[in-house]
């Protein structure tokens, strides 16, 4: 925020709003902190923020790998030594072909996908095959495992056993398995998952007839995972119970990306309807759908920090609305103890680095896309 304020002080006219600011140093800090807390590899889920400039500049420190879900994401992470994991239940032959030629590791969601890979492998073997296990498997191997919300991803145990047989038969390089229990799921079941994983490793190795080398235990870290009550020391001790020949990894999107991003809009007009003030901004739901909170039954709108070219001191409650004609284009609000915005003011929202730029309704009204600034 300090850096953004400095940029605005120096040359406000140069900042083209609506815009996102992404901080490289904050991304590095988040990555190092999560890696230290877990004591394992940390893989970035590119879907949280696939900004090319940001990703290209992060490849020099983000060296445990990138999880990609599309050919475009795959192509964004360039450079021969970058480890890429392809993971999408609807990935087709074209995607797998591109992944194999790019030496990516393949996270396999179903037998159908494995058959495609086996066929492609006859010409060119993949860098590695990882079976995605559905979370139902966790409960199967540890009855004390907390319930995980059912989902459509990965394989149940019987299917995974068939997949292991296919890997053996077709000589596919099976590295291990991948788990993902959903966003915000980490703290609730992390310890119990390790107990399940211990048995899963042993069972898979028995069936495969060879040692595995890799297990991705998933993620589910929140935007503010550092503030959650969770004993990471105890977790690292628990992980040490797993066989040493297995490289362990976790993956994160929002836990790494959310806090690195700020979103800024300029106030164009301020008006009053009855007793309610509205700051009408040059961007909103079209550039940052998530801020509008339309998917939440309880809309908890955020309060932006205001940068004023000409400071004012009148205080009032106010709603911040965007530039579309949707009633739902309300991206923030402030209470009466805040300075009332003026036209030309810039409203800055923090924690906008994950999904805000990508999970959006941009084509609506053909409004302009947000500009992106990468800052130190
Ligand atoms: C397989 C997988 N991994 C990682 C993520 C990233 O989740 P988050 O941003 O909550 O860390 C997702 C999100 O959908 C996912 O499906």
Domains of the chain, residue spans? 2-19+258-375, 50-252
pTM over 0.85: yes
pLDDT for the residue numbered 298:
83
Digit-by-digit pLDDT tens for the chain (376 residues) are: 889 999 999 999 999 999 999 999 999 999 999 999 999 999 999 999 999 999 999 988 999 999 999 999 999 887 668 899 999 999 999 999 999 999 999 999 999 999 999 999 999 999 999 999 999 999 999 999 999 999 999 999 999 999 999 999 999 999 999 999 999 999 999 999 999 999 999 999 999 999 999 999 999 999 999 999 999 999 999 999 999 999 999 999 999 999 999 999 999 999 999 999 999 999 999 999 999 998 888 889 999 999 999 999 999 999 999 999 999 999 999 999 999 999 999 999 999 999 999 887 777 777 889 999 999 9
| 61: three-class secondary structure by DSSP | coil
The hierarchical CATH code for the domain 2-19+258-375 is 2.40.37.10
pLDDT for the residue numbered 81:
80
Q: Report residues whose beta carbon is within 6 angstroms of any ligand 1 atom.
A: 45, 48, 67, 87, 180, 183, 219-221, 251-255, 354
pLDDT for the residue numbered 80:
62
| Contact yes or no for 88/133 (Cβ under 8 A) | no
Measure 122 CA to ligand 1 centroid, in angstroms: 31
Rg (CA), the chain: 23
Helix, strand, coil proportions of the chain in percent (round to 5)?
A: 35, 25, 45
Measure 348 CA to ligand 1 centroid, in angstroms: 26
Which regions of 157-260 does DSSP assign to beta strands (E)?
174-179, 214-216, 247-252
Task: Give the residue from 343, 348, 314, 345 showing the smallest Cα distance to 331.
Answer: 348
pLDDT for the residue numbered 235:
98
**Right CATH number for 50-252 from 3.40.1010.10, 3.40.50.1820, 3.30.70.260, 3.20.20.10?**
3.20.20.10
pLDDT for the residue numbered 361:
76
pLDDT for the residue numbered 60:
87
Mutate to test the pocket of ligand 1, among 180, 351, 352 (most ligand atoms within 8 A of CB): 180
In this structure, which residue's CA is closest to atom 10 in ligand 1?
Answer: 183
Mutate to test the pocket of ligand 1, among 27, 34, 44, 45 (most ligand atoms within 8 A of CB): 45
Query: How do strand 247-252 and strand 214-216 relate by DSSP bridges?
Result: parallel
Measure 222 CA to ligand 1 centroid, in angstroms: 11
Question: What is the three-state SS of 73-124?
Answer: HHHHCCCCCCCEEEECCCCCHHHHHHHHHCCCEEEECCHHHHHHHHHHHCCC
């Amino acid at each position: 925020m300090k850096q953004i304020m400095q940029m605005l002080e120096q040359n406000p006219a140069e900042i083209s709003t609506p815009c996102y600011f992404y901080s490289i140093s904050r991304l590095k800090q988040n990555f190092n902190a999560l890696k230290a807390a877990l004591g394992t590899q940390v893989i970035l889920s590119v879907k949280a923020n696939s900004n090319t400039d940001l990703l290209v500049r992060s490849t020099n420190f983000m060296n445990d790998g990138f999880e990609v879900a599309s050919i475009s994401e795959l192509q964004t992470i360039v450079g021969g030594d970058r480890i890429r994991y392809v993971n999408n239940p609807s990935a087709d032959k074209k995607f797998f072909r591109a992944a194999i030629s790019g030496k990516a590791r393949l996270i396999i969601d179903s037998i159908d996908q494995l058959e495609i890979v086996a066929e492609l492998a006859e010409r060119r073997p993949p860098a590695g095959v990882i079976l995605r296990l559905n979370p139902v498997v966790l409960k199967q191997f540890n009855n004390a495992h907390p319930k995980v919300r059912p989902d459509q991803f990965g394989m149940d145990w019987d299917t995974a056993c068939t997949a292991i047989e296919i890997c053996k038969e077709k000589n596919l390089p099976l590295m291990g398995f991948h788990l993902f229990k959903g966003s915000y799921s980490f703290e609730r079941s992390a310890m119990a998952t390790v107990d399940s994983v211990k048995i899963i490793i042993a069972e898979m190795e028995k069936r495969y007839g060879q040692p595995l080398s890799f297990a991705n235990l998933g993620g589910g870290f929140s935007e503010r995972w550092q503030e959650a009550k969770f004993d990471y020391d105890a977790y690292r001790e628990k992980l040490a119970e797993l066989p040493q020949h297995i490289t362990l990894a976790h993956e994160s999107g929002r836990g790494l990306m959310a806090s690195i991003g700020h979103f800024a809009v300029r106030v164009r007009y301020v008006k009053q309807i009855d007793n309610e003030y509205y700051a009408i901004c040059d961007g909103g739901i079209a550039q940052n759908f998530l801020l509008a909170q339309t998917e939440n039954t309880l809309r908890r709108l955020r309060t932006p920090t205001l940068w004023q070219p000409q400071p004012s001191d009148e205080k009032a409650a106010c709603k911040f609305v965007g530039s579309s004609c949707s009633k739902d284009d309300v991206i923030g609000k402030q209470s009466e103890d805040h300075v009332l915005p003026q036209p030309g003011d810039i409203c800055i929202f923090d924690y906008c680095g994950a999904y805000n730029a990508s999970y959006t309704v941009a084509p609506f009204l053909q409004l302009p896309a947000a500009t992106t600034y990468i800052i130190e």
